[in-house]
Structure 1
Amino acid sequence: MVQLLPMTASDFHIYLRNAVDEYAQDHVKAGNWHPSEALQRSEKEFQELLPDGVASKDQYLFSIVDGITGMKVGILWFAVRNKASHPDAFVYDFEIYEEFRRQGYGTQAFATLEERVQELGLDSISLHVFGHNQPAIALYQAAGYEITNLHMTKKLGI
C-alpha cells in the first residue's frame, strides 16, 4: 500500500518548477490560454494558492511513497475549500511518475486520500481534469468520481 507523506520543502521546490510549466502547457493545449501569457498566469495561480509553500493554509501536499520500497512514486495536492454548502476537499494536482504508472499506485493513492479527507471531517472530494487527459479520466471514474460539469468546444479551423 502507498503512503502519503508530507512533501518536504526541497521536494516542493522541485515539484513547483515542473508543475507551473505543465499547468501552463495544459491550459494552452486545452485552448484556455495563449502561449505568450500561459507561464505568467500559471505562476500567478500557484502563488495565490501556495503563498507559503508547503505551509500554506488549508493546503495538503504529499509525496506518494511505495510502502514497501520507500520509493517516491508521485505527488498529490489537495486543499480544504469552504464552499457555500459545506467544506470539501479539492484535488489540485496528482501525478504518478511515468516509470511507476499502471502499477496500481494511483488507485491506492486515491484510497489513502479518501481516508485522509474523512479524518478531516469532510465528506466529498472534487477535482478538475483536462478533457485531453483520458488516462486520468478513466482512473477517476474507476475510483467512483462522477462528472458534475462538462465544458465542450468545437474548433472551426479558421
Structure 2
Amino acid sequence: MVILEPMTEVDFQNYLEPAIAEYAQENITNGAWTEETALERARKQYTELLPQGRATPSHFLFTIVEASQQQKVGILWFALEEKQGQSTAFVYDVSIEERYQRHGYGSQAFREMEKKIQELGISKISLHVFGQNHAAQQMYKKLGYVATSMVMSKVLDHE
C-alpha cells in the first residue's frame, strides 16, 4: 500500500531538474521539439506552471511512499483547473523510480489521488500521456481512463 505525502522542499528540489530533463527528452523523442531548444522550453513551461514552486496555488505535489517500509518510491503532481465552467483535476506528472516499477505503486498512487480529488469536490481527472509511453497507457486504461482526443503523426522518407 502507498500513501501520498505532501512533497517537502528537499524532495521538490530533487524532483525538479530531472523532471525537466525527462520532459524535454520526451518532447524530443516524439518529434515536438528540437534537441537544441528542448531543455529551455521544458524549463520555461515548468516555471510558468509552478511560479511559486511547490507552494503554487491549486497545485498538489506528493511523494509516493510505500507505507509498510516508509520508502519513497515516486512522485505525483496534479492541479485543479477550470475548463468550460467545470472544475477538473489535471495530472501533470507521475513517476515511479525505476527499481520500484511494475509493483503496482503507480496504480495505488492513482487510487489515493482519486480519493483526494473527490474530497476536493472534483469529479473529473484528465492527463496527457506521450504516444510512445505504452506502459503508462496500459495502466491508465486499467484504471478506467479513456482517450478523449488523439494526435497521430507519420514521418515520411524523402527519396
Alignment of 1:1-158 (within 5 A): 1-158=1-158
Deviation, 1:106, is 1.0
C-alpha displacement at 1:85, in angstroms? Answer: 3.3
Two-structure CA RMSD over aligned residues (Å): 0.7
Output the TM-score relative to the length of structure 2: 0.98
Structure 2 counterpart of 1:50, one-letter code: L
Using structure 1 for the length normalisation, give the TM-score: 0.98
Task: State the alpha-carbon separation in 2 of the partners of residues 35 and 99 from structure 1.
Answer: 28
**Distance in 1, Cα, partners of 2:124 & 2:70:** 29
Separation of aligned partners in 2, 1:41 and 1:106: 27
CA distance in 2, matches of 1:149, 1:157: 27
> 1:45-91: per-residue Cα shift (whole Å, max 9, x none)?
00000011110011000000001110000100000011113010000
Amino acid at match of 1:42: A
Shift of 1:19: 0.4
Measure the CA separation in 2 of the matches of 1:78 and 1:2: 17
The Cα offsets for residues 6-56 of structure 1, whole Å up to 9 and x where unpaired, read as 000011011001000000000010110111110110000000000111100
Q: Report the alpha carbon displacement of residue 104 of structure 1 after superposing the two structures with TM.
A: 1.1
Structure 2 unaligned residues grouped into runs of 5+: none
Unaligned runs of 5+ in 1: none
Q: Distance in 2 between matches of 1:93 and 1:11?
A: 14
Paired amino acid for 1:156: L
2:109 corresponds to which letter in structure 1? A
| Identical pairs, percent | 47
Count of equivalent residues = 158
**Hey, what's the Cα distance between the residues in 1 that align with 2:104 and 2:152?**
30
Residue 157 (structure 1) shift: 2.6
